Amino acid sequence: QKEVEQDPGPLSVPEGAIVSLNCTYSNSAFQYFMWYRQYSRKGPELLMYTYSSGNKEDGRFTAQVDKSSKYISLFIRDSQPSDSATYLCAMSRTGFQKLVFGTGTRLLVSP
């Protein structure tokens, strides 16, 4: 079993839809959780960073961590064609620990 599981997609939605992207993990020691956006042929860009459980909101993006279920989510409101990219989740146990990445979910937002 992989430490971090992420559905590869692709997930296709119309413009304006609410998007939900998810990762599950097996290691209960993970405390730091990140979401990255990666456009084709570009380096990943850090979108959201959360520590421990709870929600964090930044504009159209909301990151949610449920440590009891070992489940993290990224919600995108009012999705735009420019949101079309691969979204990677990542997590680590403590500061300066190796990040463990999901394989990424490809999102396609059609106009």
Partner 1 sequence: SQTIHQWPATLVQPVGSPLSLECTVEGTSNPNLYWYRQAAGRGLQLLFYSVGIGQISSEVPQNLSASRPQDRQFILSSKKLLLSDSGFYLCARDSQGTRSEQYFGPGTRLTVT
CB of 1 to partner 1, least distance (A): 15
Question: Is the CB of 17 or the CB of 92 nearer to partner 1?
Answer: 92
Q: Are 90 and 24 in contact (CB under 8 A)?
A: no
* C-alpha closest to that of 76 among 68, 67, 85: 85
State the Cα–Cα distance between residues 30 and 42, nearest whole angstrom. 27
Binding mask 74-103 for partner 1 (x = CB under 8 A): --------------x-x-x-xxxxxx-xxx
Site stretch for partner 1 (CB under 8 A), options 13-21, 41-49, 53-61, 69-77? 41-49
CB of 26 to partner 1, least distance (A): 15
- Is residue 85 helix, strand or coil? strand
